A and B are shown apart, each in its own frame.
Chain A
Amino acid sequence: MDVRQLQYNEALNEALIEEMTRDEKVILIGEDVGAYGGVFKVSKGLLERFGPERIRDTPICESAIIGTATGAALMGMRPVAEISFIDFILLAMDQIGNHVAKIMQIAPGLLELPMVIRTEGGVGGGIGCQHSQSLEALFAHLPGLKIVMPSTPYDAKGLLKTAIRDNTPVMCIENKKLYALKGPVPEEEYFVPIGKADVKREGKDITIIATSFMVHEALKAAEALEKDGISAEVVDPRTLVPLDVDTLVASVKKTARALVVHEAVERCGIGAEISAVLNEKAYDYLDGPVLRHAGLNVSLPQNWHLEPVCIPSADSIREKVKSILG
């Protein structure tokens, strides 16, 4: 039987519907999540289905969106807060960095914070430097947050469902270019565990560790590399915190080469962390340094003609791999 195909945003929508139907403690808070159905249509139809008490459209107040979700979680609700563009989350950095990440740790055993912060990132459509960033590394630097970055509709639904049922804060960072992507999503219920990487394509000559939209660029590159006689393995960490180090090391053990690819700017990006971890845990298996291929260290111009210069693509990944193995 053919597996049903859903768009990434439809898969997320389904995850919300299932969890909200199952547990009335799950509520959604954010800008335009109501009648508009969310900027990227993830909450489409939810207002009609669950009503305004559980689907809370807010004014523009990112700090209060996260703070409100935090307070609701402290009282036993399971809020999902939506920040429509990750760029806006900088307005809520105090709530996330000083509170969401820390509350449980400094009140051990006393408080639980079962909340999810959904947001997105990534370049696309020429909308400039305040709507296109990939800021996941900022949050990975804050002990106390789990971070998932699904790259497929299947992972998006499975990870969001797991995140909603988790009793600690989870950030789900989506990608604006992925919302319309179609992929198989089974009809029956399933979960994707937090902290488990996924080998998206097997190979033996090099491991390409890619996140979010770059997983798809890496897969295209791997296909093209086959024509160059190079067999590339593509690994998607899916979760940045906690990082599935074992799967990454196992892959590198097999290929002896590693390239980390992400859209976020290279400096202090998650690639730096992955590279350091592989240096510590897989040095003996490596035939060369772990390299990074990431976003240019620049603030993106609001001009789609210039965007390709600023982020990796299948072509640039292919060239980078050839230069490593050439």
Chain B
Amino acid sequence: MVNAKELLTVAKSLPVDPELFRGLFRQILEVRLFEEETIQLFHSAKIIGYLHPSIGNEAAEVGATAGLAKADIIFPTHRGHGFFVARGASFEKLMAELMGKEAGYCKGRSGDLHMVAPEVGIMQVQGILGSQLPQAVGTGVAHQCQKNGRVTLCAFGDGAAGNGTFHESLNLASIWKLPVVFFCVNNGWAASFPFTKSTSAATNAIRAVGYSMPGYDVDGTDVWQVYCTVKEAAERARAGGGPSLIQANTVRWRGHDPSDTAPYRPKEELETWDLHDPVRIARKQALDRKLLSEADIEKLKGEIGKKIAQAVEWGLAQALPARADYLAEVSGKF
């Protein structure tokens, strides 16, 4: 029997930078408050179609984004609002898109499941899980040809790692030594199917060995650990050292989406959520390290809440796309 730990790479731990950590905490809080709002808007049918909130993945998304350079490219998962928030995408345009409004990022045609924000380097969310991996490889090919110094972070879930594209993409990225960081967010559940039953390895990270690349297994609820790991992998990729595979372990908050009550999840797992709540964890880290006070955090909450409320108000005031305009634009074009 192979000892899984021996196959893994561990990133060098960097000393905590107070300024950066405060910024990361703020982003984690932004993602959480943004998502609490989207869930309300979903239940009141102001957000239409699908919604896959990032609650539980905040630290993974924020830490990974921070480990990249600004010009690097991110492919989010279908549960990926956190990447948009962490990259500083417009809350107004995000909310408007989720509401199906013309003023949204994609004129109200993409919603939650196909959101894209090229202005902040975020590629299109794909509703076919795992389909983004070869596309991320393609951006890596472009970086290599253009010698642009960019790296692509390709996020995907533990469920998507079961798709054949996982193998094809990691193999290609490795043989071509592409600047791609594969970032598997393992939140324990692929809809109703648990990681323990879906995955024949202790962690996807050990699969990296078979693709001749480093594999990291990290606590995805620890923002600093994620940051240090992605930064190391991204810098290796940028220097021509090729791809890496990271599995960031998180815990999904409740169901697959707000309409899923998750009856298939063990009661004790749901009851211990607090232990894995990235906001609580980051909050404790910030307080313990005396980087923020309780009062600072309350102030932050107020500021972020206001920013989100403004975005919601703006989104609600926007117009839905006019059917006649849409028809005129697309009719006979495709």
Of A24, A56, A71, which contacts B139 at CB under 8 A? A71
Say yes or no: A76 contacts B165, CB within 8 Å.
no
The distance from the CB of A74 to the nearest CB of chain B, in whole angstroms, is 6
Q: Smallest CB-CB separation from A53: which chain B residue? A: B145
Q: Does B285 contact A (CB under 8 A)?
A: no
Say yes or no: A70 contacts B106, CB within 8 Å.
no
Q: Does A94 contact B (CB under 8 A)?
A: yes
Q: Does B90 contact A (CB under 8 A)?
A: no
Determine the chain B residues whose CB is within 8 A of the CB of A73 once the complex forms.
138
Q: B125-144 interface mask toward A, CB cutoff 8 Å, 1 = contact, 0 = none?
A: 01110010111111111111
With A95-B131, A107-B116 already in contact, the answer to whether A74 and B138 are too (CB < 8 A) is: yes
Of B124, B138, B144, B169, which contacts A111 at CB under 8 A? B124
Say yes or no: B142 contacts A106, CB within 8 Å.
no
| Stretch from B15-23, B171-179, B244-252 that touches the partner | B171-179
Determine the chain A residues whose CB is within 8 A of the CB of B141 once the complex forms.
27, 29, 56, 68, 71-72, 77, 79
Say yes or no: B139 contacts A75, CB within 8 Å.
yes
Q: Does A320 contact B (CB under 8 A)?
A: no
Say yes or no: A64 contacts B165, CB within 8 Å.
yes
The distance from the CB of A277 to the nearest CB of chain B, in whole angstroms, is 13
Determine the chain B residues whose CB is within 8 A of the CB of A79 once the complex forms.
138, 141
Q: Does B296 contact A (CB under 8 A)?
A: no
Say yes or no: B330 contacts A105, CB within 8 Å.
yes
A265 to B168 CA separation, bound complex (whole angstroms): 32
A144 to B333 CA separation, bound complex (whole angstroms): 8
Q: Does B83 contact A (CB under 8 A)?
A: no
Say yes or no: B172 contacts A64, CB within 8 Å.
yes
Say yes or no: A63 contacts B334, CB within 8 Å.
no
Determine the chain A residues whose CB is within 8 A of the CB of B139 once the complex forms.
71-72, 74-75
Q: Does A303 contact B (CB under 8 A)?
A: no
Of A27, A59, A70, A99, which contacts B172 at CB under 8 A? A59
Q: Does A98 contact B (CB under 8 A)?
A: yes
Q: Smallest CB-CB separation from B334: which chain A residue? A: A143
Determine the chain A residues whose CB is within 8 A of the CB of B105 once the complex forms.
107, 110
Of A103, A107, A109, most buried by chain B (CB within 10 Å of CB) is: A107
Determine the chain B residues whose CB is within 8 A of the CB of A126 once the complex forms.
none
Say yes or no: B142 contacts A63, CB within 8 Å.
no
Q: Does B110 contact A (CB under 8 A)?
A: yes
Q: Does A21 contact B (CB under 8 A)?
A: no
The distance from the CB of A244 to the nearest CB of chain B, in whole angstroms, is 14
Those of B17-36 within 8 Å (CB) of chain A:
none
Determine the chain A residues whose CB is within 8 A of the CB of B171 once the complex forms.
59, 61
Q: Does B107 contact A (CB under 8 A)?
A: yes
A53 to B138 CA separation, bound complex (whole angstroms): 12
Q: Smallest CB-CB separation from B147: which chain A residue? A: A53
Of B128, B140, B334, which contacts A71 at CB under 8 A? B140
With A75-B142, A77-B142 already in contact, the answer to whether A59 and B175 are too (CB < 8 A) is: yes
Q: A65-87 interface mask toward B, CB cutoff 8 Å, 1 = contact, 0 = none?
A: 01111111111110100000000
Of A25, A71, A106, A108, which contacts B137 at CB under 8 A? A71
Those of B151-187 within 8 Å (CB) of chain A:
164-165, 168-169, 171-172, 175-176
Of B109, B138, B146, which contacts A106 at CB under 8 A? B109
Of B142, B146, B172, B334, which contacts A144 at CB under 8 A? B334
Say yes or no: B116 contacts A111, CB within 8 Å.
yes
Determine the chain A residues whose CB is within 8 A of the CB of B329 once the complex forms.
108
Q: Does A130 contact B (CB under 8 A)?
A: no
The distance from the CB of B50 to the nearest CB of chain A, in whole angstroms, is 13
Q: Does A299 contact B (CB under 8 A)?
A: no
Q: Smallest CB-CB separation from A98: which chain B residue? A: B128
Determine the chain B residues whose CB is within 8 A of the CB of A63 once the complex forms.
134, 164-165, 168
Say yes or no: A71 contacts B135, CB within 8 Å.
yes
Q: Does A54 contact B (CB under 8 A)?
A: yes
Q: List 24 A-B contacts (CB under 8 A).
A: A53-B145, A56-B141, A56-B176, A61-B172, A64-B137, A68-B138, A69-B138, A71-B140, A75-B73, A75-B142, A79-B141, A98-B126, A99-B131, A99-B135, A106-B110, A106-B114, A107-B106, A107-B110, A107-B114, A107-B124, A110-B116, A111-B116, A111-B124, A144-B334
Instruction: Sort A-B residue pairs by CB-CB distance and give the 4 closest, nearest first.
Output: A71-B138, A67-B134, A75-B142, A143-B334
